[in-house]
Amino acid sequence: MPSNSQTADKPSSRKPDASFSLKQNALFLKVASSRTLSGAAQTLHMSASSVTRQLIDLELAMGLTLLDRAHGTNKLTQAGQVFLPYCQRIFQAQLAIAQFAKIATDSSNPIGAQAPTDETAVRRVAVRLTLAQIHAFISVAQDGGFCSAARTNQQTQSNLSRLLKDMESVLGVSLLSRMPAGIALTSVGKFVLPLAEQLLALHTQASNCLRLQRPQANSYLLIVGSLSVMPPVMSTLLKQLKADLPRHHIEVRNELSVDVEKAVHNGSAIVGLCGVVREKPHFIYTPLLQVQLGLIWAPRMNMPHLPSSLDELAHIAFLRFHDGALTSEALTANQTRFSAYFDSHVTVDSVEAGLDLVRNGDFAMVATGVGASRKAAQGLNFLPLPHLLPSLTVSIISRRESPLDERHEQVRHALACCVLQTRWHGSVKLLKQPAI
């Protein structure tokens, strides 16, 4: 094994403050190379909503916005443009490790020989590698054994051993020879080690570079709201906050309700606005609106005048939101048996997308008076069904342990005023008096 002096200039095996995983790196690279999000989703054999959620997880972990999704394209932000070259080089390092392992498994090829490989198979292997596996391999190789590496990384030997076995299983090759006197790199391991160190160095460089792209914490404010609630409020809120806090960089974003909660919980967003089905102990709630679920449909659709049971809607074609969406969560939590909704095979990712389909007259949609307030809902029928469907509140949420400083209170006040002064459908009940 190399001596300490030989490894002093190599990347440390200690896990850095990593802000993204190799899986997220590969996902971003695929999305950035596609013209649209739907095109990337089709290539990845995933739903557009699933791709969006994973991108949001990546952005929240970094504290940066990488894609400008406001215009329905995959336009990169400045941070996204900085990240992309690193992203490409990291994935090339993954491919190099996978390709070498593929060559090494062919006994007819000597180690290091150049031979044609199945590109699809190599890519499948590459995307299964994880940073934890890379860290474990480098650490054990540099420290000369599991015991020393475990002390260095403050992990158990069994955990390091498991990660090494997982990496060897993914690559289909042995990287270490385990002997009573210690461990030694196999011939394959000796070739893979510098590639793994290169990958780790690139990842660390990307993390450090992206950290410089983040706005200063004392001047950057992110407010997130759910796709079902925030759009009518967004422009007014942004204008108000820029007037109230002129020295701050302010960003207002629309996300799924589950991602709103995630952003507030991890501290990347100062406050959030979303519908609430169940209150959670780690949030403080400020209820603003009481909204009732009902039906939206085009006038030419044959809808029962006032259904007395949901069974009367069995013949209606409904759109469905995914299981994590607020509407589905509310119906499930209330144990509402609504087969026409839950059995639907036509899903949408947002209220706006649903309203576009409803307007054609082929589908009905479950929504609230907030959804019925949209410009896209003009000319459509909306019927609240308090005797059949549950209601929920629209609330401002903030993290319970967050300090309530002056900026926090200004943002909460501005958000509450904008929500309460917005013109909603008549079925929406205000839970607080709007400020004059």
Note every long-range contact of 398-407, with CB atoms under 8 Å and residues 24 or more positions apart, other chains counting: 398/264, 398/270, 398/271, 398/272, 398/283, 398/284, 398/286, 399/264, 399/265, 399/267, 399/282, 399/283, 399/284, 400/281, 400/282, 400/283, 400/284, 401/282, 402/267, 402/270, 407/221, 407/245, 407/248, 407/270
Contacts of residue 43, defined as CB under 8 A and 6 or more positions apart, other chains included, come to: 30, 34
pLDDT value, residue 427: 94
Q: Output DSSP code: residue 217.
A: T
Q: What is the CA radius of gyration of the chain?
A: 26
Q: Are the C-beta atoms of residues 293 and 412 closer than 8 Å to each other?
A: no
Number of helical (H) and strand (E) elements in the chain, helices listed first = 17, 15
**CA–CA gap between residue 50 and residue 324 (Å, rounded):** 11
**Token pair of 207 as six digits:** 């993390």
pLDDT value, residue 140: 87
pLDDT value, residue 406: 77
**254-to-48, 263, 279, 296, 356 alpha-carbon distances in Å:** 16, 11, 21, 22, 18
pLDDT digits (tens, 9 = 90+) for 150-205: 777 777 888 888 999 999 999 998 998 877 767 888 888 898 999 999 999 999 88
pLDDT value, residue 2: 39
pLDDT value, residue 5: 35
pLDDT value, residue 116: 45
pLDDT value, residue 117: 54
**Token pair of 117 as six digits:** 């490989």
Angle at 322 between CA 278 and CA 20, to 5 degrees: 85
**Token pair of 322 as six digits:** 């995914």
Q: Are the C-beta atoms of residues 142 and 153 closer than 8 Å to each other?
A: no
**414-to-28, 87, 279 alpha-carbon distances in Å:** 34, 38, 23
pLDDT digits (tens, 9 = 90+) for 247-291: 888 889 888 888 899 889 888 888 999 999 889 998 999 999 999
**CA–CA gap between residue 430 and residue 424 (Å, rounded):** 10
Residue ranges, the chain, pLDDT below 50 = 1-18, 108, 111-116, 436
**CA–CA gap between residue 414 and residue 236 (Å, rounded):** 10
**CA–CA gap between residue 422 and residue 351 (Å, rounded):** 18
pLDDT value, residue 218: 58
pLDDT value, residue 114: 47
Q: Are the C-beta atoms of residues 229 and 273 closer than 8 Å to each other?
A: yes
Surface-to-core class of residue 422, CB atoms within 10 Å of its CB (0-12 exposed, 13-18 middle, 19+ buried) = middle
Query: 0.85 exceeded by the pTM?
Result: no
Of 290, 301, 428, the C-alpha closest to 359 is 301
Of 330, 226, 212, the C-alpha closest to 272 is 226
**Token pair of 142 as six digits:** 């540099």
**CA–CA gap between residue 234 and residue 223 (Å, rounded):** 10
Q: Are the C-beta atoms of residues 164 and 155 closer than 8 Å to each other?
A: no
